[in-house]
A = this chain, B = another copy of it.
Amino acid sequence: MIKPHGGKLINKVVSRKQAERILARLKSSPRLIIDPDSLLDLENIALGVYSPLKGFMDEEEFKSVTVRKRLSNDLPWTIPIVLALASAKTRRISRNAQILLCNAQDCPVGLIKVKDVYTVDKYKAAKHIFGTHSLKHPGVHKFYHSGDTFIGGEIWLIQKNKYPFHNFNLIPLQVRKLIDKRRWKTVAGFQTRNIPHRAHEFLQKIGLSLVDGILIHPIIGWKKKGDFNPEMIIGAYKILINHYYPKDRVIFSGLATAMRYAGPQEAVFHAIIRKNFGCTHFIVGRDHAGVGGFYDEYAAHRIFDKFPDLEIIPLLLNGPYYCKRCLTVVSDKICPHRDTHNVEISGTLIRKMVAQHRRIPEEYLRREVADFIYAHKDKCFL
């Protein structure tokens, strides 16, 4: 099986006993309430989703990742994982302090051993991460509005947070065990944040044609308004897989992490995450993790040229559409009629057809999935 990024799956979950000891020791020490996205990142570090990270990035790692797109040990890494806090909250925090990290209910969920308290030039950093400074970019907007002080340091997970779809989130070790049990030698990872239409099915099935199994891995974390409701994504996928996929070739699970909408940088980040889950291949379509025209449609393909040492193999596929001449879903790599006969199958198209009470053709969306969407059309979108 493919090794995790950096060679070893990180596990920073403490036992119940250790947790009790930590809590007793630090019961009167300062605590920090962290936001839901940072909670997800804390868990992802602890569960090996972000292997080889063992904590939130210190200033050196942050600089290395934003400027060089590599960790200081030279491993590819494109998205900074930081604990950002309002400066007012961080005044009392000093190096080497051990601080309990708490959820919104002030319940301790993790521990950080502070290595670094630092600030960064967010304007410069945004350009590196997102390729833009524009506040119209939802990732940039969020980054600017996050805390101004970053705390770096190793973490430990004391208690897993309960968030929706919790049981649906297999951790890397669980997925790796499943892959092993099914004797898959090759596994393609598929990232999504949409209900599955025929264009997604096309991409997934090209991937699956080449490998033993597929990990369909929708993101169940922060997303922008107007994106599909996670419940709908999960429900629609269950129906699709049940009717149209060989069940013994699919692992379906959610990935709890925030979307960054960082396009190419995030494509590499998504690939690294899937490598940690045991994927040997990762499907990258058109404008992966892109938003509002900020990225060239195949920038997220080209970026992989810079990372020949990534180990997970990117399957770089052009954007699918339905072709009225080819009578099937295709891409411009395999069809000469893009300019004359294409129907772009997209969330937007489906949203529009649902709003207009129009029947969505089977060529765009499987009948059973369409039925499901119509039955729940009031809660389709965030």
Interface residues of A (CB under 8 A from B): 205-206, 208-210, 244-247, 249, 315-318, 325-336, 362
Contacts and interface: CB of A to CB of B under 8 A. Distances in A.
Contact of A317 (B209, B316, B325, B333): B209
Contact of A249 (B209, B247, B333): B333
Given A328-B328, A362-B327, A247 B209 contact: no
B246 A209 contact: no
A205 B362 contact: no
B317 A210 contact: yes
Contact of A245 (B209, B247, B336): B336
A205 B331 CA distance: 9
B326 A210 contact: no
Contacts of A316: 210
A75 B344 CA distance: 47
Given A327-B362, A362-B327, A334 B246 contact: yes
Nearest to A327: B362
Contacts of A336: 244-247
A108 to B, nearest CB: 46
A332 to B, nearest CB: 7
B333 A246 contact: yes
Contacts of A334: 205, 208-209, 245-246, 249
Contacts of A333: 208-209, 246, 249
A209 B327 contact: no
Nearest to A329: B328
A333 B334 CA distance: 21
Contacts of A245: 334, 336
Contacts of A209: 206, 317-318, 331, 333-334
27 contacts: A205-B330, A205-B334, A206-B209, A206-B210, A208-B333, A208-B334, A209-B317, A209-B318, A209-B331, A209-B333, A209-B334, A210-B210, A210-B316, A210-B317, A244-B326, A244-B335, A245-B334, A245-B336, A246-B332, A246-B333, A246-B335, A246-B336, A247-B336, A249-B333, A327-B362, A328-B328, A328-B329
Nearest to A244: B326
